[in-house]
Amino acid sequence: MTRLKGRPVFGGLASGPALVTKMPINFTASLTKPKNLIPWWRSRIQDRHHDLFKRNVKGCVLIFPAAIGSTYTGMVLLELMVQGRAPAAVVVQNIDPLLVSGPVLADIWFSKGIPIVEYSGEDIYDRISDDDWVEVNGKTGEIKIREQISS
Amino acid sequence: MAASGGVALFHVEGITPEARDLASVFDGDPKEVITITQKDIDALRFKDPDGATSVVFGCPQMTYEEAMGLGQHFVGKKTRLPTWFCMIPEASKRFKGAALYTRVVEAGVKVVDFCPLAGFSLRIGNKKLLTPSGKLYYYLSDTIYGTVKDCLKACGVQR
């Protein structure tokens, strides 16, 4: 078990398999395409320019450098949370208000927020790989990583 | 830049008002320098003249001045592909009052006042839209990117 200490931003405790990318994510371009209207593809990334193209964010701990693109970012996340198709938690290197607005408003309006922790160190990409089990504490900033047992 | 560049806000030296020079916007030397060459931009550009099935101008939606400038290329000609000018609603009202508007419509251009991303996200058939907007190219599925000149050539109104 590896532990990292990030900056607590929002929310409580959640865990899930890691989904890691070194590319900033444009949530509007990723999750508001016509294909996202299909319920089982609602949370599938449809940004063809992105490493995570066709990956599903539902239930994962999403680890990425920053959110980019449209001011609609927060609402995209909010909608996923309301529909129960959001990531379990978010660990981001550079936090911004638009990203935070989604979980905060989902919590206020629908009691469905997710934890966010900011961890700026580049070592996060050495410490966490896809599918490692990660627990994120939005109150303390603690990130616990249980590495995937390779078969 | 915001759509694809990994930056939410940016300075352009000598263009955005707060960035008179590099010293005004950087606290010392930049931490990282990324060089983008013409070759990089050209690598994105559309090269197949028959590859586009329609051409969309405006994303962000066009201003009156943009329509007046671009419209000149269509005077006395016929566009060979379905072509849209997606304009700011107020700008399109003003453009419709200009003599050039009729000439542009006669050339086959559809002047509309909706956002191309909202308007073309759901479209019948797998149409390849050619756009001179890096933003629209990033956001909209099945788009190809070209310069304004590439787009005018695809319309058959410029050699």
Q: Is the CB of A48 less than 8 angstroms away from the CB of B141?
A: yes
Dmax (CA) of chain B: 55
Q: Is the CB of B138 less than 8 angstroms away from the CB of A26?
A: yes
Q: Label each residue of chain A as H, E or C.
A: CEEEECEEEECCEEEEEEEECCCCEEHHHHHCCHHHHCHHHCCECCCCCCCCCCCECCCCEEEECCEECCCCHHHHHHHHHHCCCCCCEEEECCCCHHHHHHHHHHHHHHCCCCCEEECCCCCHHHHCCCCCEEEEECCCCEEEEECCCCC
pLDDT tens digits, residue range B79-124?
Answer: 999 999 999 999 999 999 999 999 999 999 999 999 998 888 877 7
Please indicate if any CB of chain A lies within 8 Å of the CB of B117: no
Low-confidence ranges of chain A (pLDDT < 50): none
Predicted confidence at residue B28, as pLDDT, reads: 87
Sequence-distant (≥ 6) Cβ neighbours of residue A119 within 8 angstroms = A4, A6, A7, A91, A92, A93, A141, A143
Is residue B23 located within the same domain as residue B84?
Answer: no
Q: Which residues pair with A14 in a beta bridge?
A: A136
Question: Could you say which of A26, A34, A96 has the minimum Cβ distance to residue B121?
Answer: A34
Is residue B1 located within the same domain as residue B59?
Answer: no
Report if residue B5 sits inside a domain: yes
Distance in angstroms (rounded) separating the CA atoms of residues B131 and B46: 10
Is residue B78 located within the same domain as residue B144?
Answer: yes
Distance in angstroms (rounded) separating the CA atoms of residues B88 and A32: 22
Report if residue B6 sits inside a domain: yes
Closest-CA residue of A relative to B5 is: A68
Q: Is the CB of A98 less than 8 angstroms away from the CB of B6?
A: no
Distance in angstroms (rounded) separating the CA atoms of residues B104 and B84: 10
What CATH topology corresponds to A7-140? Glucose Oxidase; domain 1 (3.50.30)
Is residue B50 located within the same domain as residue B10?
Answer: no
Q: Is the CB of B121 less than 8 angstroms away from the CB of A70?
A: no
Predicted confidence at residue A18, as pLDDT, reads: 97
Q: How would residue B154 be classed by pLDDT, with cut points 50, 70 and 90? A: very high
| Tokens of residue B88, six digits | 């700011």
Question: Could you say which of A33, A68, A70 has the minimum Cβ distance to residue B7?
Answer: A68
Predicted confidence at residue B18, as pLDDT, reads: 92
Sign of CA dihedral A51, A81, B135, B114: positive
ipTM field: 0.75
Q: What angle do CA B75, B81, B82 make, to 5 degrees?
A: 90
Predicted confidence at residue B22, as pLDDT, reads: 86
Is residue B144 located within the same domain as residue B93?
Answer: yes
CATH number of residue B55's parent domain:
3.30.499.10
Give residue ranges of A with CB < 8 Å to any B CB: 23-24, 26, 28-29, 33-34, 46, 48-49, 65-70, 96, 98
pLDDT tens digits, residue range A19-36?
Answer: 999 999 999 999 998 899
| Domain total of chain B | 2
Is residue B96 located within the same domain as residue B131?
Answer: yes
Strands, DSSP E only, in B63-113?
A: 83-87, 109-112
Please indicate if any CB of chain A lies within 8 Å of the CB of B76: no
DSSP class of residue B45 equals: B
Identify all chain A residues contacting B122, using CB atoms and an 8 Å cutoff: 34
Q: Is the CB of A49 less than 8 angstroms away from the CB of B138?
A: yes
Q: Give residue limits of the domains in chain A.
A: 7-140
Rounded to the nearest integer, the mean pLDDT of chain B is: 89
The model's pTM: 0.81
Helices then strands (H, E): number in chain B? 8, 5
Q: Which domain holds residue B94?
A: 46-155
Best of B122, B128, B138, B142 to substitute, by most chain A Cβ atoms within 10 angstroms, is B138
> Does the pLDDT of residue B5 top 70, yes or no?
no
Q: Is the CB of B6 less than 8 angstroms away from the CB of A68?
A: yes
Is residue B76 located within the same domain as residue B15?
Answer: no
Is residue B50 located within the same domain as residue B22?
Answer: no
Average pLDDT of the segment spanning B44-56: 84
Distance in angstroms (rounded) separating the CA atoms of residues B124 and B121: 10
Best of B139, B143, B145 to substitute, by most chain A Cβ atoms within 10 angstroms, is B139
| Tokens of residue A11, six digits | 């929310």
Is residue B25 located within the same domain as residue B50?
Answer: no
